[in-house]
Amino acid sequence: MIMFPISLEVVIVGLAEFVVIGTLIGILTGSLVSLILKIGVRGIAKDGLLGLTGFLITLSVWSLVPLPYPFIAATTVAAALPASHQFFRFERLKSEQ
């Protein structure tokens, strides 16, 4: 089995791309859901962190198991976590009224 050496710069750039993608997915999803629910856009940093965490963890776990379409799964989880955060926030605000 021949392995191709990957330079550290390529690994860092690839990881930085994943960080940006996961964070943007989280921010956009959380903002969109909060606008749809009309609860005001708050917690953008938390949504970005949830998107980033979901994207990286899903991508890492998916790489251990040889299943197809890891980026689709990672994108789905990165969008689902901030959306669920905003839905829980909506329920909390609704119950306080």
Q: Using one digit for the tens of pLDDT, what is the confidence trace for 40-63?
A: 999 899 999 999 999 999 999 998
Q: What is the pLDDT of residue 4?
A: 72
Question: What's the CA gap between 16 and 12, in Å, rounded?
Answer: 6
- Cβ within 8 Å of residue 24, ≥6 positions away: 48, 51
Which residue would you say has higher pLDDT here, 96 or 49?
Answer: 49
The secondary structure of the chain in percent helix, strand, coil, rounded to multiples of 5, reads 80, 0, 20
Question: What per-residue confidence (pLDDT) applies to 63?
Answer: 86
